[in-house]
Structure 1
Amino acid sequence: MINKRLLVKNLLAHNDENSFYDKKRFINIGHKEGKAKFLKHVCALANSNPKNHSFIVIGVEDEDNKIVGVDFFDDSKIQNLVNAYLDNPPLIAYENIPFPHLEEGRVVGLVTIKSNGKVCALRKNIWKYYGGSVFFREGSISMPKAFDIELKDLNSKAVATIEQHARNNIELTLDGVIDFLNNRHKDLESSYKVFKEQFVVCWAGNAKKVKDKTYFSRVDIELINEQVKLFFSTLDEVTVAFNEDTFTTIEYVRLGLANKLKYYPLEKMNITFEDNGTYQIQSELIFDPPKYDKKTLYHIFNTNNAILRKLEKNIALKPNDKEDLSHLPATYLICFLNGFEEAKIQMEKARVLLKKTNQEVHHSLKESLRILRKVKYS
């Protein structure tokens, strides 16, 4: 069983970027350019590593390998994105790896790519890359290739050695459980469950009971053996259920207008642990977004746009503007879910403005964009 934090350390310590590993300060698949570059690297790494895993490490400074982290990235639909844009798409997983020195909510992103053994190519045009383009790694660079396209096994031995050095042990697992329960989440209700005598899942949050169900907020869930953060949110609420073979969460989002808020089930995640030391994670979007009168939404949409214009021009907000601003992330999201496609563009614009002026609303906006991503790629 591979400890993903050790894997990241081994990649950073022993290898500069090369044909089986790339590193990024951040990625931005919400914009066309960022999405295109990400797909290019995935394509190149898959073609250059037909027999072994390849990796992208995210949240690392390029010059000195300093681990600075990125926000928790909850995108279980990233495989759908790859499938939509690539022919012969590889299997891909994005995992959030906690590091002790990073602040709460910050992680290192680890993208693991597994080729299907066939030549991977862009399926359609995106940004400045044309459909049909094939990319390979040349050293640390992802380059297009038009001639002599052949998949060669050049890295399987090196990658196998790195993965072997990242194998977990009982001491690391116990230290991870104790750190999770007693140090990082000593102010929250926390628990753990051992599956198949091998896997340890820890979770923590503020618990509240509603009828016969327990809901957790400020939720953190980790698969300790592999040092993978499965879920993190300071806003949404989650239910947890498990038996001897499976661990299941349902995420709820709070949406509504004019203080008439309601929790809606968003996504169900099910982890099934097998007797042979493997596990499978399946995510299912179960979201049925609320519907509202178009006339009401047009008014809200225009009000939000007016607030953004004031922020752009540094015009002081009135008390009612500040109240509307606090609801802006959720109301823009509701507008998008009701057919206002421009709301996403406005949310991206708001993210830049709010990062400088209002951290609390900026954080809420990032959560709304996370939900939007889930819905978009489902």
Structure 2
Amino acid sequence: IPFPHLPEGKVVGLVTIKSNGKVCALRKNIWKYYGGAVFFREGSISMPKAFDIELKDINSDLVSTIEQHARNNIELTLDGVIDFINHRHKDLSSSYKVFKEQFVICWAGNKKVVKDQTYYSRVDIELINEQVKLFYSALDEISIVITEDTFAITEYVHLGLGREKHYYPLEEVGITFNDNGTYQIQSELLFEPPRYDRKTLYHIFNTNNILLQKLQKNLRLTKADNEDLKLAPATYLLCYLNGFEEAREQMDTMKDLVKSKDRATYNNFKESQRILRKVRYS
């Protein structure tokens, strides 16, 4: 159900369960709750528990009607497209695509073409009908592939030592739209980390650790130290991806130390940690 008066980026998920004298459970995964979860009242809160339950479509017609009403609200959809293109991202290259005459995807970003391949940075992609943000990043670059039924996003990360940096595909997210008014989102991790000579990485790792000690002791940094600090998020990440397990903990510590001193480097640390989380969880 649309809630048009919410602040930008806020969405409400509403689940209504009517009593029918039988057990009610979630059919599929929703947010952090697993399909098959049953909720029991314990004191002032409801606690989820998982059971092997055969679910039956008792109120599927009602649910379908509500979902269809939300999708077919043309006014809200048009308002969302106009707001996305003309207001939120008026300074970026933006576009939209309609799928199955029901779903509208808008995307915006800085566009560039390299060897006949189009890439976007500062990217924002949203499924307007359902107020779902599919992708957002101020740093990474992506490519987009569109077919009649699908919208696929390939995310790249810029990694390397010194000036020898290259773009590596990180993850592909594909959305497939069906004729019956439904869609599926599937993701696939594509990342293969670059490999480097272990002696070189060991030297870089030690340099970063010495810099970390200076930050912990609140010592004055030299010009060379400040240059190394700018590179630390990427070099710690590469060390970890090449088998230096301690690099993750060192990265966390350094990130907290630079938070109030160097916001740009702090944001780069957060981005490196985001890549690590995605690689580990996938």
Calculate the TM-score normalised by the size of structure 1. 0.63
- Confirm whether residue 91 of structure 1 aligns to residue 29 of structure 2: yes
Cα distance change, pair 318–141 in 1 and its aligned pair in 2 (3 A) = farther
1:261 aligns with 2:165: yes
Relative to structure 1, the CA distance from residue 139 to residue 371 in structure 2 (aligned partners, 3 Å threshold; closer, same or farther) is farther
Alignment of 1:44-83 (within 5 A): 50-52=24-26
Mapping 1:21-170, distance limit 5 Å: 50-52=24-26, 91-92=29-30, 111=31, 113-116=33-36, 138=42, 141=45, 164=66, 167-168=70-71, 169-170=73-74
Root mean square deviation, CA, Å: 3.2
Mapped pair 1:325 → 2:245: no
User: Is 1:309 matched with 2:247?
Assistant: no
Q: Gaps (5+ residues) in structure 1? A: 21-48, 54-89, 93-110, 120-134
Tell me, in whole angstroms, the C-alpha distance in 2 between the residues paired with 1:295 and 1:116.
51
Would the alpha carbon gap of residues 221 and 301 (structure 1) be closer, same or farther in structure 2, given more than 3 Å must change? same
Q: CA deviation at 1:306?
A: 1.8
Q: Which residue pairs with 1:369 in the alignment? A: 273
What's the offset of the Cα at 1:282? 0.8
Q: State the match for 2:20 in structure 1.
A: none
Deviation at 1:327, TM superposition (A): 1.1
Q: Distance in 1 between matches of 2:144 and 2:13?
A: 33
Structure number with higher relative contact order (C-alpha < 8 Å, ≥ 6 residues apart): 1
**1:237 aligned residue:** 141
Aligned partners of 1:270 and 1:281 also within 8 Å: yes
Partner-residue secondary structure (3-state), 1:348: helix
Q: Displaced runs of 4+ in structure 1, greater than 6 A?
A: 4-7, 142-145
SS at 1:203's partner residue? strand
SS at match of 1:236: strand
Q: Is the 8 A contact 1:307 1:321 kept in 2?
A: yes
2:119 corresponds to: 215
Matching residue of 1:249: 153
Identity, in percent, stands at 60
Residues 320-359 of structure 1: pairs in structure 2 closer than 5 A: 320-359=224-263
**Partner of 2:201: helix, strand, or coil?**
helix
Equivalents in 2 of 1:279, 1:183: separation in Å?
28
Per-residue CA deviations over 1:313-349 (Å, capped at 9, x if unaligned) read: 2212111111111111111111111011111112222
Q: Which amino acid aligns with 2:132?
A: V
SS in structure 1 of the partner of residue 105 of structure 2:
strand
Say which SS state the counterpart of residue 292 (structure 1) adopts: coil
Q: Distance in 1 between matches of 2:226 and 2:42?
A: 52
Residue aligned with 2:206, SS: helix
Q: Which amino acid aligns with 2:201?
A: L
Moved more, 314-323 or 192-201: 314-323
- SS in structure 1 of the partner of residue 168 of structure 2: strand
How far residue 167 of structure 1 moved from its aligned partner, in angstroms, is 2.9
